[in-house]
Amino acid sequence: MNWISSNLGRIVDLTISHVWLTLVPTVIGLLLALPLGWWAHRSGRGYAAIVGTAGLLYTIPSLALFIILPTILGTKILDPVNIVVALTLYTLALLVRVVADGLGSVPHDTVAAAEAMGYRSWQRLLLVELPVAVPVIAAGLRVAVVSNVSIVTMAALLGIPQLGSLFTQGFQLRLYTPLVTGVVLCVVLAVVFDGIIIWANKLATPWRQRTVTS
């Protein structure tokens, strides 16, 4: 407890850094995955190529990507932009298939009913297909954000401050307190983010709650 109290300010700063390094790429990745997933869903034969390419991105080791990106982007190795770009790619790779499959899960009768009501293509997508696909997309988003909370810690090996820095400090000083503190805070962040997505999913799909209660 003495170590925590004497390092509380630093712990708060590292937590804030970890939060934005997790949330920014998650949001950007989702925004990019929505049109790409829609394209994969509508392209038919192109589905395999788009989803397969996205899947290959996810197989690249995170540490290797953190090291390669500065050369590609022209940034410094300690620039947090590298982490944001890397995690955006991971989020995109994970969610493209989720979005495509989510849109594909919309019942044909629902789409046909929207067409019969005179909905244009973009109206059908925004007002019918996406809302119905929200639970599937939310499930994938939960996986993505929890994965990002974990992957961000790898950036500590490059000297970028976030909760992973507590791991390296603990190993270097052979102290358990920083290690345990970092692990606990990462778990807490993952649980909080997961809970927020669950809440947002329920908020965005009120008809599902009415169906369950009835």
- For residue 68, give the nearest of 83, 56, 55 by alpha carbon: 83
Break the chain into its structural domains and give their ranges.
2-208
**Whether CATH 1.10.579.10 fits 2-208:** no
Each residue's pLDDT tens digit in the chain (214 positions)?
688 888 899 999 999 999 999 999 999 999 999 999 999 988 877 888 888 888 888 899 998 999 999 999 999 988 999 999 999 999 999 999 999 999 988 888 888 888 788 888 788 888 888 888 999 999 999 999 999 999 999 999 888 999 999 999 888 888 889 999 999 999 999 999 999 999 999 998 887 665 555 4
* pTM score of the predicted model: 0.90
